[in-house]
A = this chain, B = another copy of it.
Amino acid sequence: MDVYRAGLSMAQWRRLIDDACRGQVTEPIRHIDEARGPRFDAIFVGGGSAGRFGAAVLRSLGGRPLVLERWPFLGGSCPHQACVPHHLFSEAARELDQAQALAGRLWYGKFDPKAASILELVDLFRSKRSGPHAHMNWQSAEQLGIEYIVNAEATVIDASTVRAAGRMFTARALVLCTGSRTARPGIPGEDLPGVFDYASFIEDLNYEPSKIVVIGGSKVAVEYASFYQATGTPTTVVSRGALLAAGGPGRMDDDMRHFVVDGMRARGVELLEQTIVTRISGDGHVAAVEVTGPGGARRIEADFVLMATGEQPNVAAFFPAVPVARDADGFVTVDDRMRTSVPGVYAAGDLLGPPLEMFKSRRSGTTAARNIMGVDSEFSYADIPDFLHTTYEVTWAGLSERAAREKFGDIVTIQVPPPDLAPGDTPLPMAEGSMLYGFTMPERTGFQKCVIDARSRRVVGIHHAGYGAKDAFQYLHHLMTRPGGLTIDELGDMNELYVSPDYFIGYARLRSSQAELTSM
């Protein structure tokens, strides 16, 4: 099907994508300028965020990109199975958490776990996900001028040739961006019906879970467990190590981790740390998860299991035809210009391994595009701002207090609530999104900490659990990592928008006139 310059409306795109997702349109959907022939500057194998953003930049620089995507839409797993549904569920978790907490008060009625249906939310997402998909296809065609073929498998033949939609395309460079999927660890019973990962959860769920086990201890595990519990469905998390300890002690601040983990426990999530899953059992459908931990062996009944056990790369479309070097986990290795070990072949996105985050996908794709077009460009993601959801938005950048103390010695912190108060002693930090909690359950308003190197007066770590600060962390991270960094004095001289979800500016103002900084 040729849609080049067809000027499809958003509604037409939605229908076409819906039909294709239902298998009613099986032919490739081609948005290609046939008059220009099959030779491109670069072919992006995979139309997720890495491929789409890379193609947009290559086009902006005067090049001719081709994006090839097996799904009938651009944008990749994010809007189809990953970030977007996750954000929908996390928003539901936040609202349901409040509905549970305030049940019977103000305008909130009795909380009815039967009314909060996981299946209904998944159905809502499935029925409407073509909306964002349509936007990506429309934008890529109408606003970005990208040529693409969707709804077609691509097969890489060699470093300059790709077959798709029954045709051969060539380019002076390839950008591999085929993404990743959940790595199944090989637990006996992990293939039983009722055992899901974040993708099959979206695609295949057809019943309402009544008791859930989540296997894993990092972001995905914490996020989905928080959501499930918020719907009123009893949820157990089984983690090999300490929850959210991945990345080492330098990543998440200890106090923030406690706020997050204690908060999950207070909401009823059962957390089993240092615990191994030995077997998933059931007769034709999952019925229990058998574990071994500090308390010995145990059988946890469950009719739904989520495997949040890490990721593995999707390499079938290009490996071994293009024998790029890969690391021990199979992820493709690249240099700072996104070049693989095979000349002319670049890689980008989740295929590169952790962190599996949007900024990395987009920037690795655009970095590849720039270098292909002769613009020297490097991208390193050693120091990143990061976040996750529980029923809160949890965001951090820079160093934890512990890591900062090890690195700089003399550290000052600004913390809300202050370290010498119990969380329920004060409604602070209370801001957009936690005002109702501030006046009903003050221990629930959140937690935040700013870590300052006392000698240089530079902000070296920021940590926030609450609502409304995530967006700001993008810019704070930029300010902290630019040459010269961000001092508490500069922070205290900014103009805050009160009640600001982070209290950093206001508190910096209270402290920044000190010649010798002290904590508060």
Chain A residues at the B interface, C-beta cutoff of 8 Å: 9-11, 53, 56-57, 60-61, 78, 83-84, 87-88, 90-92, 95-96, 98-99, 106-107, 109, 112, 115-117, 120-121, 124-125, 128, 131-132, 134-135, 139, 143-144, 231, 357-359, 362-363, 366, 369-370, 375, 381, 384-387, 393, 395, 418, 421, 425-428, 430-433, 435-436, 438-440, 442, 467-479, 493-502, 505-506, 509-514, 520
Contacts and interface: CB of A to CB of B under 8 A. Distances in A.
Given A98-B95, A431-B87, A511-B60, A495 B106 contact: no
B510 A53 contact: yes
A496 B109 contact: no
Contact of A88 (B84, B370, B425, B436): B436
Contact of A109 (B109, B431, B473): B109
Contacts of A477: 494-495
A470 B468 contact: yes
Given A87-B431, A384-B495, A120 B106 contact: yes
24 contacts: A61-B513, A83-B499, A87-B499, A88-B438, A95-B436, A106-B116, A107-B112, A107-B231, A109-B115, A124-B439, A134-B426, A135-B428, A358-B496, A359-B498, A363-B495, A366-B509, A370-B513, A471-B472, A474-B497, A474-B505, A475-B475, A475-B476, A478-B495, A479-B479
A506 to B, nearest CB: 7
Given A435-B88, A497-B387, A501-B471, A107 B98 contact: no
B469 A471 contact: yes
Contacts of A99: 107
A61 B125 CA distance: 56
Given A91-B435, A472-B474, A124 B106 contact: yes
- Oligomeric state, in number of copies? 2
B495 A91 contact: no
Contacts of A78: 498
A202 B471 CA distance: 32
B495 A474 contact: yes
Most chain B CB atoms below 10 A, which of A125, A357, A494, A520: A494
B498 A471 contact: no
Nearest to A494: B478
A512 B57 CA distance: 8
Nearest to A9: B425
Question: What are the 3 closest A-B residue pairs judged by CB atoms, nearest first?
Answer: A358-B498, A475-B475, A60-B513
B132 A430 contact: yes
Contact of A497 (B124, B375, B440, B470): B470
Nearest to A510: B56
Contacts of A106: 92, 115-117, 120-121, 124
B439 A502 contact: no
B513 A500 contact: no
A435 B418 CA distance: 33
B96 A432 contact: no
A84 B428 CA distance: 12
Nearest to A519: B143
A470 to B, nearest CB: 5
Most chain B CB atoms below 10 A, which of A107, A117, A387, A506: A107
Contact of A436 (B91, B381, B502, B512): B91
A384 B509 CA distance: 17
A264 B501 CA distance: 25
Contacts of A362: 496, 506, 509
Contacts of A497: 359, 385-387, 395, 470-471, 473-474
A357 B382 CA distance: 39
A350 to B, nearest CB: 13
Contacts of A92: 106, 435-436
A356 to B, nearest CB: 11
Contact of A87 (B112, B432, B478): B432
Contacts of A473: 497
